[in-house]
Chain A
Amino acid sequence: MELKKALFERRSIRSFSEKPVEKELIKDILTAGIYAPTAGNIQPWAFIGISDPEIINKIRVISPGMLGHPKVLICVFSDQKKAYERAGKGGKTLALMDCAMATQNIMLRAFDLGLGTCVVRSFNQVAAHEILGTPDYLQPELFITIGYPAENPDPPSRNTGIIYWEEYGK
């Protein structure tokens, strides 16, 4: 698939088919995630792939922004310990940016493989820690819902009037 097609045609998918998602595809998608840009090559992140329906449902209950019934979830964590050790106070922000870039890689690769995704930030981080049994220094930043799409949403409008050239306002 051309990169341009993935960039312009990927949509947030909130309705998924019952078709299961092969584990090999998820491994492939996660590999795309770890090849995202990362400040100073710190790689201040960790990922958990979740396909157990019981765990997915628990996460769904504590994630108001998770809509539909995905077959797989990926939780993207920032590694606060690694970020602080390698980049000091600024590491927190850098880790967040790195996680966002990894998430975009994951969603584009998923689209490339015919899968739908939606990124979710509206979830309770304390509850997610509890459910996933993660150490305190791993901060759950985003969930990515994954499944075969059962919808084909129209592209949302975009404001192109915020692009300038050489200086602000021109």
Chain B
Amino acid sequence: MINKELYRGLFEVIGYMLTSARGLIDEPQLYGPFRLIDGVSRLCTILEKEESGYGVFFTKLKAKIEKKKYTVMSDVDTFVGMMDELVIDFSHKMNAK
């Protein structure tokens, strides 16, 4: 059975990605990484509810993003550090599977 809520959520993320792609042509460079990271958070919000074995990981990933994503506007080093940390977390998870 198709999970309508899941598909609706993904549909909306596609809208976010499409309009981000168009908008970023005329926007500050740092908006690019921000949109991608914010997109990851939005995907985690949708996917953390699914019974996939990744739920806890997605919830933790989202929490880390939400805690520091706005540092992009005030403290770029912290923002970059957060992204490095997220990549390490992701690599650990990938290796553990």
Q: Do A and B bind each other?
A: yes
Residues of A within 8 A of B (CB): 14, 57, 61-65, 67, 122-124, 127, 156-157
Q: Does B81 touch A at the CB level, under 8 Å?
A: no
Residues of B within 8 A of A (CB): 12, 15-16, 19-20, 22-23, 27, 31, 35, 38, 70, 73-74
Indicate which residue in B15, B27, B70 contacts A122 across the interface (CB closer than 8 Å). B27
Nearest Cβ in chain A — how far from B70, in angstroms? 7
Given contacts A62-B15, A62-B19, 8 further A-B pairs with CB under 8 A are A61-B15, A64-B20, A64-B23, A64-B35, A122-B27, A122-B31, A123-B19, A124-B19
For A157, list chain B residues within 8 Å (CB).
Answer: 74
Determine the residue in chain B with the shortest Cβ distance to A15: B66
User: A18 to B67, alpha carbons, bound, how many Å?
Assistant: 20
The answer to whether A63 touches B19, judged by C-beta atoms less than 8 angstroms apart, is yes
Say what secondary structure dominates the interface of chain A. loop
Can you pick out 27 interface pairs between chain A and chain B where the beta carbons lie within 8 Å of each other?
A14-B70, A57-B12, A61-B12, A61-B15, A61-B16, A61-B19, A62-B15, A62-B19, A63-B19, A64-B16, A64-B19, A64-B20, A64-B23, A64-B35, A64-B38, A65-B23, A67-B38, A122-B23, A122-B27, A122-B31, A123-B19, A123-B23, A124-B19, A124-B22, A127-B19, A156-B73, A156-B74
Nearest Cβ in chain A — how far from B79, in angstroms? 14
For A122, list chain B residues within 8 Å (CB).
Answer: 23, 27, 31
Determine the residue in chain A with the shortest Cβ distance to B31: A122
Nearest Cβ in chain B — how far from A21, in angstroms? 23
For B12, list chain A residues within 8 Å (CB).
Answer: 57, 61
Interface core residue of A57, A65, A123, A156 (most chain B CB under 10 Å): A65
For B19, list chain A residues within 8 Å (CB).
Answer: 61-64, 123-124, 127
User: A137 to B20, alpha carbons, bound, how many Å?
Assistant: 24
Nearest Cβ in chain B — how far from A118, in angstroms? 11
User: A64 to B35, alpha carbons, bound, how many Å?
Assistant: 7
Nearest Cβ in chain B — how far from A14, in angstroms? 7
